[in-house]
């Protein structure tokens, strides 16, 4: 037991657990909306599209989070504009936009002399975040989480029935862009935890797990948050004892939990459906 609790002796582990828990809860709540709205690929697109914003912000000497947020929001808005003004489907548009922006970011990064490590951007470095970044992540993550929960009923309606939302005089376009903005900000906050490549798992897997367990949205939120925070804490402990990539361990624990839910979930698990049949 003493060996298991050894990580709590170190401040960087306590900071990682605190930041990781808040970010996991934030991503879990957003993942429920993304799953229901069919925007899973949007999280993947924005997470890759922030790279050129990060490099340009470094060149301009401004906070990297500002550049990442601007690039992510540009990707989301431009994808929606192209989809509405062409015959190309939404998933195709997002694939073209985010791959182009990610490639542009790689070119900029390769041509820019800096002390940034690309692997920290791609896979995160939650155990190495500075104390100032801890408070920044907690503040931004708390804002995204609070706004999403406060507007969850309106956001849920535009996910399920946009026509009904317009009949009820809800600002559906504003809410769509707000959800995209919250998603972009959440990805920026999560970069320090799991990086560009793995953040998409944080935004998809918790909602997918919860969707297998229940049809009630409030219960879905609770299950997603519990799965995400538990997986994050477990992944951080596992990475410490195995000396492995923390972000990868977090996502791997989430994936194992998804596989277990896929098989044993009492609502829509494979074994449950076979027993009923």
Domain ranges of the chain: 13-196
Which pLDDT value is given to residue 75?
Answer: 81
Which residues are within 8 A (CB) of 125 and not within 5 positions of it... i.e. 6 or more apart?
A: 192, 195, 246
State residue 106's pLDDT score. 84
pLDDT at 222: 94
User: What are the residue ranges of helices labelled H in the chain?
Assistant: 11-37, 40-60, 64-84, 90-110, 118-123, 131-150, 152-160, 162-167, 172-213, 217-242, 246-264, 270-276
- What pLDDT digit, counting tens, does each position of 189-207 carry? 887 667 776 788 888 999 9
Q: What does the pLDDT read at residue 124?
A: 72
* Residue from 246, 159, 152, 257 nearest 208 by CA: 257
Instruction: Write down the pLDDT at residue 29.
Output: 93
What topology does CATH give the domain 13-196?
ABC transporter involved in vitamin B12 uptake, BtuC (1.10.3470)
d(CA 185, CA 65): 9
Give the pLDDT confidence score for residue 221 in this predicted structure. 93
* Residue ranges, the chain, pLDDT below 50: none
């Amino acid at each position: 037991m003493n060996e298991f609790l050894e990580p709590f002796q170190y401040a960087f582990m306590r900071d990682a657990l605190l930041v990781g828990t808040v970010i996991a809860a934030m991503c879990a709540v957003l993942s429920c909306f993304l799953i229901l709205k069919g925007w899973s690929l949007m999280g993947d697109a924005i997470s890759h599209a922030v790279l050129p914003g990060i490099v340009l912000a470094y060149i301009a000497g401004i906070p990297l989070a500002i550049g990442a947020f601007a690039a992510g929001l540009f990707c989301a808005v431009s994808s929606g504009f192209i989809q509405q003004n062409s015959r190309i489907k939404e998933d195709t548009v997002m694939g073209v936009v985010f791959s182009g922006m990610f490639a542009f970011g790689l070119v900029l990064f390769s041509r820019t002399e800096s002390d940034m490590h690309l692997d920290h951007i791609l896979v995160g470095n939650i155990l190495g975040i500075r104390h100032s970044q801890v408070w920044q992540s907690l503040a931004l993550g708390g804002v995204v989480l609070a706004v999403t929960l406060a507007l969850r009923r309106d956001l849920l309606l535009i996910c399920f029935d946009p026509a009904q939302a317009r009949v009820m005089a809800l600002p559906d376009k504003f809410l769509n862009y707000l959800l995209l903005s919250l998603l972009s900000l959440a990805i920026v906050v999560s970069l320090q935890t799991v990086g560009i490549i793995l953040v998409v798992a944080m935004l998809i897997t918790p909602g997918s797990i919860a969707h297998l367990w229940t049809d009630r949205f409030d219960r879905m939120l609770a299950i997603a948050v519990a799965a995400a925070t538990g997986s994050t804490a477990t992944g951080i402990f596992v990475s410490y004892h195995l000396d492995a990539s923390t972000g990868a361990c977090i996502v791997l624990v989430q994936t194992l939990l998804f596989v277990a839910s896929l098989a044993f979930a009492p609502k829509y698990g494979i074994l449950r459906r076979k027993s009923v049949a």
